[in-house]
A = this chain, B = another copy of it.
Amino acid sequence: MANWFRRRPRRVDAPRLRPRSEDLATTRLDLHEFTPPVEEFLGRAAYVQLMLFENLSRAVSTAPTTAAKAAIGRAAEISIAKHRALADEITRAGGTVAEAMEPYTTSVDEFERTTRGADWFETLLGCYLTSGFLEDFFARLAVGLPESERERVESIYSSADEEPLLAEQLSLAIADNTRLASRLAMWGRRLVGDTMLVARSALGLEGTGTADVRAEPVFTELIAAHTRRMDALGLTA
């Protein structure tokens, strides 16, 4: 079992022990100007993580093979453990989990509805891409939290990762099936736009019509990471 609350040394130039991605380890760009107050950060991040878990659990239930079901079950366990660790942070900060999450349920539920896949393959690709993007995003947004909180939150996101488990199942499904690959490539391109809106909303940028120039470099990197996730499956982003 991972110790979610393991303290990590402060960030230095050397690569971190278990970086989520190479970008995250080496970049100087961050979102500290946009980091909301602790309660808002945790409430939103915890509810987003619960939604990501729900999508994974749907992929468990509809998995076409017992092997896929078992593998995605493991990913779902990792995902719900992250949600609970974030929920524990809400409690530690003196909040109530449900109350802290409540303001973000409508928009996150709407995202979930509009990005629900038409079948198991689309659902699973959605889990892979949106978990990857949004966990990366919240790990970066945590940079502006008070130091002890930031360390614990970064530790949550840099703990066990669902991504390799999902990539393996997707690769198996896509192999030798160009028709499916083509359909999933389209689906992945569709998802990234909606996923970015969830992230922008966390920056208070929704509805402004234009992107904030200070956040753009980070989004450029998040999209580059998305492209690499697509590439890893042989899909054109």
Interface residues of A (CB under 8 A from B): 1, 3, 47, 50, 53-54, 57-58, 60-61, 65-67, 69-70, 73-74, 76-77, 80-81, 83-84, 87, 97-98, 101-102, 105
Contact = CB atoms under 8 A, between A and B. Distances in A.
Copies of this chain assembled into the complex:
2
26 contacts: A1-B3, A47-B66, A50-B60, A50-B69, A53-B57, A53-B60, A53-B73, A54-B57, A54-B60, A57-B57, A57-B58, A57-B60, A57-B76, A66-B101, A66-B105, A69-B98, A70-B97, A70-B98, A70-B101, A73-B80, A73-B84, A73-B87, A74-B84, A76-B80, A77-B80, A77-B83
6 A-B pairs with the lowest CB-CB distances in the bound complex, closest first: A57-B57, A67-B98, A66-B98, A1-B1, A77-B80, A70-B97
B65 A98 contact: yes
A216 to B, nearest CB: 33
A44 to B, nearest CB: 13
Contacts of A105: 66
